[in-house]
Amino acid sequence: KFESKEYSGRVSYYKFEQVCKKFGVNLEDFMLSSREEGLKVKEQIPKPIIGIRPELFRITLENVHHLDIHSAHMAGVAKAFPELRPAIQYCYDYRKKHPIYKDILTHSWGYFQSRFSPVYYRLSHLSKAGLENVIREVNRLSNELEKTGHMVIGHNTDGIWYMGEVYHGENEGKNLGQWENDYHCIKFRAKSPGCYEYIDDKGKYNPVLRGRIALDEEKPRDQWQWGDIFTSEKQNFYKLTANGLLVPDWGVDF
């Protein structure tokens, strides 16, 4: 039964534990011997790759795309711990029929390093393996993009924003751990690593920013327009042309 629109980390962990038992796997068998050992591993978990190239802030870019790795963190867990792959694959396969399985995948990965019962940090090595795999794949794809003449604009953990023709390459597909291009943008502009806006190939404006700004109190974000993420700042922008020149962006269509 799916009684909640979204599971918490703890509930997601218990649900994933139940799925593991379907395949004869006891998740507790993977736990480290002590809380202290788990905490030590947790402290070694690397930081995800997040950010946008600062030299591109406030510059309007065209022909921008985003690629995303499917269930990247748990795909890394499956690669490092093959015994867990059937349970992870099961959740991945059912995530569209029952979207709650997507929460089970994402929230369980986070809960593996939790200080709370019944984990007490003792599955931190699963979280660590998952994120390390994400970082390797993001770095590999970024290098391939650069080698093929694309400009990498930035990263958002398990995704990459890039400029140029649509990229196709190794490990592209719909399966667990594979990647696909999921967004195509007519225009893209960033204010900061966590604040950017784009107009997609359907003509829809999309503002992306963490937290809230004063404009949130005036109107919902689906009513915002191009440039609204900069409402509190002087409008002084440039655009990058196809031949690599920076020219003033007066806000007109191009």
pTM: 0.88
Is the model's pLDDT at 3 over the cut of 50? no
For 39-71, how does the pLDDT look when each residue is reduced to its tens digit (9 = 90+)? 999 999 999 999 999 999 999 999 999 999 999
Is the model's pLDDT at 34 over the cut of 60? yes
229, 195 Cβ separation under 8 angstroms: yes
Task: List C-alpha distances in Å: 55 to 51, 120, 220, 246.
Answer: 12, 42, 30, 12
Name beta bridge partners: 198. Answer: 188, 206
What string of H, E and C letters represents the secondary structure of the chain?
CCCCCCCCHHHHHHHHHHHHHHCCCCHHHHCCCCHHHHHHHHCCCCCCCEEECHHHECEEEEEEEEEEECCHHHHHHHHHCHHHHHHHHHHHHHCCCCCHHHHHHHHHHHHCCCCCCCCCCCCHHHHHHHHHHHHHHHHHHHHHHHHCCCEEEEEECCEEEEECCCCCCCCECCCCCCEEEEEEEEEEEEEECCEEEEEECCCCEEEEECCCCHHHHCCCHHHCCCCHHHCCCCCCCEEECCCCCEEECCCCCC
What confidence category does residue 252 fall into, taking pLDDT thresholds of 50, 70 and 90?
A: very low
For 197-249, how does the pLDDT look when each residue is reduced to its tens digit (9 = 90+)? 999 999 999 999 988 888 999 999 999 999 999 986 655 566 777 667 666 66
**Per-residue pLDDT at 2:** 41
Average pLDDT of the residues of the chain: 92
**Per-residue pLDDT at 76:** 98
- Written as one letter, the residue type at 95 is R
